[in-house]
Amino acid sequence: MSTEKKPLIIITGASSGIGLATARLFSAHGHALLLLARRLEKMQALDLPNTLALSVDVTDRAALAAAVQQGEARFGPADAIINNAGVMLLGEITRQDPEQWDRMLDVNVKGVLNGVHAVATGMVQRKRGSIINVSSVAGRKAFPNHVAYVGSKFAVHGLSENLREELSTHNVRVTTIAPGAVETELLGHTTDEDIKTGYQAWKADMGGKVLSADDVANAIHYAYAQPEGVCIREIVLAATRQQA
What are residue 188's phi and psi, to 5 degrees?
-60, -20
Is position 115 an interface residue for ligand NDP (rule: CB under 6 A)?
A: no
What's the rounded Cα separation, in Å, for the pair 142 and 136?
Answer: 11
Minimum CB distance to ligand NDP, residue 126 (Å): 26
- In the bound state with ligand NDP, the residue whose beta carbon lies nearer, of 14 and 167, is 14
Is position 171 an interface residue for ligand NDP (rule: CB under 6 A)?
A: no
Of 145, 176, 184, 190, the one binding ligand NDP (CB under 6 A) is 184
Is position 15 an interface residue for ligand NDP (rule: CB under 6 A)?
A: yes
Of 13, 91, 115, 129, the one binding ligand NDP (CB under 6 A) is 13
Residues ≥6 apart with Cβ < 8 Å to 240: none
Minimum CB distance to ligand NDP, residue 238 (Å): 9
- Strands of the sheet containing 173-179, edge to edge, are 51-55, 31-37, 6-12, 78-83, 130-134, 173-179, 234-237
Q: Is 199 a catalytic residue?
A: no
Is position 89 an interface residue for ligand NDP (rule: CB under 6 A)?
A: no
**Taking the CA of residue 213 as centre, how many other CA atoms within 13 Å lie in the half-sphere pointing to its CB?**
18
Helices (H) and strands (E) in the chain, counts: 8, 7
Is position 160 an interface residue for ligand NDP (rule: CB under 6 A)?
A: no
Of 134, 148, 159, 232, the one binding ligand NDP (CB under 6 A) is 134
Of 46, 63, 65, 87, the one binding ligand NDP (CB under 6 A) is 87
Q: What is the DSSP letter of 127?
A: T
Side chain identity, residue 28: A
Of 22, 84, 130, 242, the one binding ligand NDP (CB under 6 A) is 84
Minimum CB distance to ligand NDP, residue 16 (Å): 4
Angstrom distances, CA of residue 147 to CA of 88, 140, 144: 11, 13, 8
What's the rounded Cα separation, in Å, for the pair 98 and 228?
Answer: 42
Of 10, 19, 100, 239, the one binding ligand NDP (CB under 6 A) is 19
Q: What is the DSSP letter of 207?
A: T
Minimum CB distance to ligand NDP, residue 34 (Å): 13
Of 25, 119, 181, 219, the one binding ligand NDP (CB under 6 A) is 181
Is position 212 an interface residue for ligand NDP (rule: CB under 6 A)?
A: no
Closest alpha carbon to 129 in 75, 157, 171 = 171
What's the rounded Cα separation, in Å, for the pair 24 and 54?
Answer: 16
Is position 107 an interface residue for ligand NDP (rule: CB under 6 A)?
A: yes
Residues ≥6 apart with Cβ < 8 Å to 99: none
What is the set of active-site residues?
Answer: 149
Which residues contact ligand NDP (rule: CB under 6 A)? 12-19, 37-39, 57-59, 84-88, 107, 134, 136, 179, 181-182, 184-186, 213
